[in-house]
Amino acid sequence: MSRRTSKCSVCTGDAGLVSEVNNLIASGVKLTKIHEAYPDLCSYPALSRHKNRCLTPQPVVETMSTIDECRLWLSRAHSTFQSAVAIGDNRGASQAIGTATKTLTKLIDLEEKEQEAKEAATPDDDPSRPISIAYLDQQLKEFMAKRDAENDGVMQKAQTLIMAEPAFSTIIFAIWSNRALLPILLEGVIQSANTN
């Protein structure tokens, strides 16, 4: 974080106070407000030199996960909010809350887009794809449509007859136990249909 090799009067102060001051500076709180809150730490010119010479913007770590970035911004916003409230800077406190809210909203949107892109890129038959109720409903609907399309929906019609007509179940059991009955029953059904 430091660009200088020797430490300034602010850097050599109380570590806790220096950390609070650095967070306030990083959050954009005016130096006059910071100096008013910590007059014993250093003079205004020393604070300005500390900002310009000792502090550099913290590099953004590209490997940081969305959750880690969220925690980092929440931590910064929380620290800034507490410091701003402590020195009576309502505007700074409001800005910290606004920054935290905007950042969290942006991160949530980013997370949702990443999840949607991941789901869209995962094939339907991939075992690692998360299974949802909507996905299972769609799979069942496709299966039923395919099954009903085969043989003019004979399976569905047979199942309906088995459920609705107990006599049909008796016929099925009779055919199952003696397959020789099938051609005889079929011939009788065809003759009956031709006479009607």
pLDDT exceeds cutoff 60 at 3: no
Overall pTM > 0.85: no
Hey, what are 28's tokens? 């954009």
DSSP string, 23-86: HHHHHT--HHHHHHH-TTT--HHHHHHIIIII--PPPPPTT--HHHHHHHHHHHHHHHHHHHHH
pLDDT exceeds cutoff 50 at 61: no
pLDDT exceeds cutoff 50 at 117: yes
* CA distance linking residue 157 with residue 12, whole number of Å: 87
Hey, what are 9's tokens? 């009067």
* CA distance linking residue 165 with residue 62, whole number of Å: 67
What is the torsional sign of CA 17, 18, 23, 27?
Answer: positive
196 vs 190, higher pLDDT: 190
Whether residue 56 contacts residue 25, with contact meaning beta carbons closer than 8 Å, is answered with no
Note the pLDDT tens digit of each residue in 139-152.
888 887 787 777 67
* CA distance linking residue 79 with residue 84, whole number of Å: 8
pLDDT exceeds cutoff 60 at 6: yes
Output the average pLDDT for the chain: 78
* CA distance linking residue 7 with residue 5, whole number of Å: 7
